[in-house]
Amino acid sequence: PGPLYLRLTRQNLEPVHDAAYRFQFGKADVLRPGHDVTLLATGGPVWNALEAAKKLGAEGIQAEVINVATIKPLDEEAILRSAGRTGHVVTVEDHSVHGGLGSAVAELLGEVMPTPMKRIGVATFGESGDQKGLYAKHGLDPDGIAGSVRKFLSR
């Protein structure tokens, strides 16, 4: 299909799919259905988005969690379908909020289906440190994600 790149992580990640799962290039996967807000996550923060959705669910906020494993091509159909259903979109990525998943989704929604949106990611220059501490600092841990979603939905 042309040039590809693959981002790998040094952290041990919790599985988000069962053993029968088969990856499909360019397809996003709904990991948890919901109707109040869509959490589009990629990479390491996918598990944290699922954990945040559990916290939000206990408060009556039903978050749909979608694993967006490929950003180009972006699964526009899955994103638009979910955004149309929930009316609110939050992207979660351990990457700059500029030029990654959040930017791609903002472009899509802005051009096709204007939808309130929030990007969670690294808003400053990258730095070194342990993954857990950096995720907490940038709001990429379950509590940070849930807090950002609560604040976003209350606007």
CATH number at residue 115: 3.40.50.920
Mean pLDDT of 79-87: 99
Whether 130 shows a pLDDT value over 90: the answer reads no
Range of the domain at 34: 29-153
- 118 in a structural domain: yes
Distances (CA, A) of 81 to 19, 57, 84, 121: 26, 21, 5, 23
pLDDT in tens, 32-42: 999 999 999 99
Q: What is the pLDDT of residue 70?
A: 94
Q: 48-54, long-range: CB within 8 Å, 24+ apart, which pairs? A: 48/92, 48/135, 48/140, 48/141, 48/142, 48/145, 49/92, 49/145, 50/16, 51/142, 52/142, 52/143, 52/145, 52/146, 52/149, 54/142
Q: What is the mean pLDDT of residues 130-135?
A: 90
Beta bridge partners of 118: 90
In a domain, 2, yes or no: no
Q: Is the distance from CB of 87 to CB of 114 less than 8 angstroms?
A: no
Q: Is residue 8 part of a domain?
A: no
Q: Is 21 inside a domain boundary?
A: no
- The answer to whether residue 18 is domain-embedded is no
Q: Is residue 17 domain-resident?
A: no
The predicted pLDDT at position 126 comes to 77
For the segment 55-69, the average pLDDT, to the nearest whole number, is 98
Position with higher pLDDT, 60 vs 123: 60
- Residue-wise pLDDT for 42-52, tens only, equals 999 999 999 99
Least confident of 58-62, 81-85, 107-111, 129-133: 129-133
The count of domains in the chain is 1
Is residue 9 included in any domain, yes or no?
Answer: no
pLDDT band at residue 74, thresholds of 50, 70 and 90? very high
The fraction of the chain above a pLDDT of 90, given in percent, is: 80
Say if 135 falls within a structural domain: yes
